[in-house]
Amino acid sequence: AKDPVRVLVTGAAGQIGYALVPMIARGVMLGSDQPVILHMLDIPPAAEALNGVKMELVDAAFPLLKGVVATTDVVEACTGVNIAVMVGGFPRKEGMERKDVMSKNVSIYKSQASALESHAAPNCKVLVVANPANTNALILKEFAPSIPAKNITCLTRLDHNRALGQISERLNVQVSDIKNVIIWGNHSSTQYPDVSHATVKTSSGEKSARELVSDDEWLKGEFITIVQQRGAAIIKARKLSSALSAASSACDHIRDWVLGTPEGTWVSMGVYSDGSYNVPAGLIYSFPVTCKDGEWTIVQGLSIDEFSRKKLDATAEELTEEKALAYSCLS
Ligand code: NAX
Order across the sheet with 295-298: list the strands: 65-71, 36-41, 5-10, 83-86, 125-128, 152-154, 267-272, 284-292, 295-298
Nearest CA to ligand 1 atom 42: 246
Percent of the chain with pLDDT over 90: 96
Return mean pLDDT, the chain.
Answer: 97
Cα–Cα dist 167/209, whole Å: 8
Query: Residue 95 above 90 pLDDT?
Result: no
Range from 93-102, 236-245, 273-282 carrying the lowest mean pLDDT = 93-102
Provide the CB-side half-sphere exposure for 261 (13 A, CA). 20
Residue 72 CB–ligand 1 contact under 6 Å: no
Give the tens place of pLDDT for each residue, 252-278: 999 999 999 999 999 999 999 999 999
88-112 mean pLDDT: 92
Residue 142 CB–ligand 1 contact under 6 Å: no
Ligand 1 center to residue 11 CA distance, Å? 6
14-36 mean pLDDT: 98
Predicted local distance difference test score (pLDDT) of residue 207: 98
Atom nearest to 108 CA in ligand 1: 18
Cα-only R_g, the chain? 19
Give the tens place of pLDDT for each residue, 286-301: 999 999 999 999 999 9
Percent of the chain with pLDDT over 70: 100
Atom nearest to 159 CA in ligand 1: 40
b/e code 12-48 from CB counts within 10 Å (16+ = b): bbbbbbbbbbbebbbbbbbeeebbbbbbbbbeeebee
Cα–Cα dist 201/192, whole Å: 23
Helices marked H in the chain: 15-25, 47-60, 74-78, 98-119, 133-142, 157-171, 209-213, 216-220, 222-228, 230-238, 244-259, 306-330
Residue 16 CB–ligand 1 contact under 6 Å: yes
Residues carrying an active site annotation: 187
Predicted local distance difference test score (pLDDT) of residue 222: 98
Predicted local distance difference test score (pLDDT) of residue 17: 98
Residue 179 CB–ligand 1 contact under 6 Å: no
Examine the predicted complex and report whether its ipTM is higher than 0.85.
yes
For residue 1, name the pLDDT band (cuts at 50, 70, 90).
confident
* Pocket perturbation via mutation, ligand 1, pick of 23, 42, 54, 111 by most ligand atoms within 8 A of CB: 42
* Predicted model pTM: 0.98
Cα–Cα dist 237/244, whole Å: 14
Query: Residue 91 above 90 pLDDT?
Result: no
